[in-house]
Chain A
Amino acid sequence: MSGRSTPEDRTGRRAARERAVERGPAGSLRELDHTGDVGFEMEADSLGGLFRLAAEGLVGTLGLPSASGRAPDAAETMELRRADLERLLVAWLRELLVRAQVNRETPRIGRLAVAPEEEGFALRASVSWTAGEGPTREVKAVTYHGLRVERSGEGWSGCVILDV
């Protein structure tokens, strides 16, 4: 991916800068009716909210057991950087997916911020992990097909399709 930014990137970064401070998981999550796979659309008032909703969608699709009321077994700060928001969303969900499937852990997302940087965008999230039985449904991967992260009025919208 070239480092050159498009006008859309620059608009996105400007908007993201304005919204780097998170205000909670307000928004909506809707499952898409994809013939072969599973997808969902998100709408949120901030980029961080959008990425949080996408994580909720993934956790729901995986059918992970709830971690509420249980002390986490591990906690970490995840930091990811990518050239654009769509690749950052895929990278974020992939990290959660692989950890959930390989280590059989349920993530709980704490603070989450997505902000523009010189070379693209960065995500910083505090994630706690609770060991358990792992997913009840296999998700092979987070795809780039139909992937979308874009401004929508005052907020953000996006779409992700999972290969199941």
Chain B
Amino acid sequence: MVRLERLDDSRWLIPRSGDMRTEGLVFADDRLMDQLRHDKALEQVANVACLPGIVGRSLAMPDIHWGYGFPIGGVAAFDVEDGVISPGGVGYDINCGVRLLRSDLHEADVRGRLNPLMDQLFRALPSGVGSRRTDFALAPADLKGVLADGASWVVARGYGWPEDLDAIESRGRLAGADPGSLSERAKKRGRNQLGTLGSGNHFAEVQVVDEVYDERTAEAFGLAEGNIAFMIHCGSRGLGYQVCDDSLETMLDAAAKYRIKLPDRQLCCAPIPSPEGRRYVGAMNAAANFAFGNRQMLAHKAREVFARVFGESAAANMHTVYDVCHNIAKFEEHSFEGERRTVCVHRKGATRAFPAGHRELPPRYRSTGQPVLVPGDMGRYSFVAVATAAGFDEALGSSCHGAGRMMSRTQSRKRMRGRDIKREFRERGIEIRSDRARTVAEEVPEAYKDVEDVVRVVASAGIGRPVARLRPIGVVKG
């Protein structure tokens, strides 16, 4: 049982004990903490604190839940010389993330054509298990291009606009990608999955800007109350899963080779400067670039659908608000006890949140701070927040990434048995498109924490500031 000390209304400390090299810090209020006590997520925060070279605290965002290795919602920084890199701190779905497009369409413009819109989106954005595109597959040289150059490769081939790149974290390309380090199996899995959503909690949603909390920032983000937005949540698909799988085998051997004591095998890791560590960084960045390219392609395909249904001029205003990673390890500069250091920040189920003035932000967001996209569940709402300076200092420039599950998939299916969920949603004004009743039953709002609770803690802890709430009216699920 992990010992907890309540620091204030939104912070809990896990004091050092056993093999922990540092403290844990969990952002949660009493209500979220009550939901956490029943699983192993807090233990996982403590496990991360045991890894060599950790700098600062082992952090958990308010949407923390039980994962494998790192908790989902876990953030930790490691010294670039003495620290480690762990595929378990990134996750299987490397650069799983969220993209948000805005539009000038109003809910009233869309309501009357919601069914044809959703039907066409469902066809244009392949979803479901092992979903693949039938209209094109990447030749080996093309795949290498995506792995090396990410979204910019996709845009250069006419799938999207050059301005999209300004609104993607790291401009949609992580430098240092090494496509040659990927296994043939990983490449095979990615060949026809560029531009696919996948399954599980991945989705594409037509949303309405339901409420604006910060007019000035919302305006800077291009969001106005009553307007339509489009959100995409997906990652690097089978290619990323395979990169992680392949790396874990190597890292298990590396952990033994470098005598790293592991509290959980899924935390297997290697020193960042080691050959194994460098190889993983190259492979991870390549998979991350594939994910950036994937969301770029999906955004382009969605715009094509909006153009067909509402006309070219409607689609021409669907600018990218932002595109964020929430499963990644990145090299960043942060301050620790007054000293600037370059560290490798692992974010597993956590969003990078850089504040106003940060040099990595595009000019359009340099005075506001970075948009933080927080998808909720398919029945209630999602949020757009903005990064804060306080969050940069205390949370390693990180914020929450979603609602976080609170019910297992099995429980959820049992609870939903006998219910016609699609019909229930239709009566509430939400059209769902999915081939799998099981996925829909597992993804119902009841299975998730209320993302509003999560965002409230983000705001009270000062690691983000809510800007707008988005309400779904159409959902594509895998």
Contacts and interface: CB of A to CB of B under 8 A. Distances in A.
A101 to B, nearest CB: 5
A124 interface: no
A98 B185 contact: yes
Contacts, number: 104
A135 B130 contact: yes
Contacts of A37: 67-68
B265 A144 contact: yes
Contacts of A136: 129, 436, 438
B241 A102 contact: no
A97 to B, nearest CB: 9
Contact of B188 (A86, A102, A147, A163): A102
Interface stretch (A11-19, A28-36, A67-75, A108-116): A28-36
B39 interface: yes
Contact of B244 (A34, A104, A141, A145): A141
A63 interface: yes
A64 to B, nearest CB: 10
Interface stretch (B329-337, B365-373, B401-409, B423-431): B401-409
Contact of B69 (A101, A104, A145): A145
A63 B435 CA distance: 14
A143 interface: yes
Contacts of B245: 94, 141
B252 A144 contact: yes
A27 interface: no
B198 interface: yes
10 contacts: A35-B65, A35-B407, A38-B408, A102-B189, A136-B129, A138-B198, A138-B199, A145-B67, A163-B92, A164-B409
Contacts of B244: 141
- What is the size category of the interface that chain A forms with chain B? 20 to 34
B410 A33 contact: yes
Contact of B129 (A31, A98, A137, A163): A137
B72 A36 contact: yes
A86 to B, nearest CB: 7
A141 B241 contact: yes
Contacts of B478: 138
Interface in B235-253: 238, 241-242, 244-245, 248-249, 252-253
Interface string B197-241: 011100000000000000000000000000000000000001001
A98 B187 CA distance: 13
A123 interface: no
